Amino acid sequence: MATIKFNNGITINAEENGNCFITDSKPAFPSDLSNITVTTDEESYVIANGEIIEAASIDGRYWFTIRDVPETELAREKVDAQITYTAIMTDTLLEDE
């Protein structure tokens, strides 16, 4: 069993299978997926910047994993968003033809 605790205090208890977590139904995940604490029988660890990834179900239950998004990817997304915003505000956005 694993206990997954989110920043807002929501806790999900789930079975583990490899790197997947399994619940009877899809939980209501919070919007803030930073600093998620996962505690299992073997270890406890923190996922700094999480992303929920749905896995294929083989038994009708909800399977998911939580990916830790690297800081470099977050930084690249922030720069891309700033460039897009600037292009929109200055009317210089390149359009596909």
Average pLDDT over residues 53-69: 93
Residue indicated by tokens 């930073």: 34
- Does 85 fall in a domain? no
Mean pLDDT, the chain, integer: 89
Would you say residue 83 has pLDDT above 90? Answer: no
Contacts 24+ apart (CB under 8 A), 30-37: 30/6, 32/6, 32/7, 32/8, 33/6, 33/66, 34/7, 35/7, 36/4, 36/5, 36/6, 36/7, 36/66, 37/4, 37/5
Q: What pLDDT shows up at residue 80? A: 76
In a domain, residue 54? The reply is yes
Please indicate, yes or no, if residue 28 is contained in any of the structural domains. yes
Q: 87 in a domain, yes or no?
A: no
Residue 94 domain-assigned (yes or no): no
- Total number of domains in the chain: 1
| Distances from the Cα of 35 to the Cα of 59, 86, 97, angstroms | 30, 30, 42
| Full residue range of the structural domain in which residue 10 is found | 2-69
Q: How confident is the model at residue 37 (pLDDT cuts 50, 70, 90)?
A: very high
What percent of the chain has pLDDT above 90?
Answer: 63
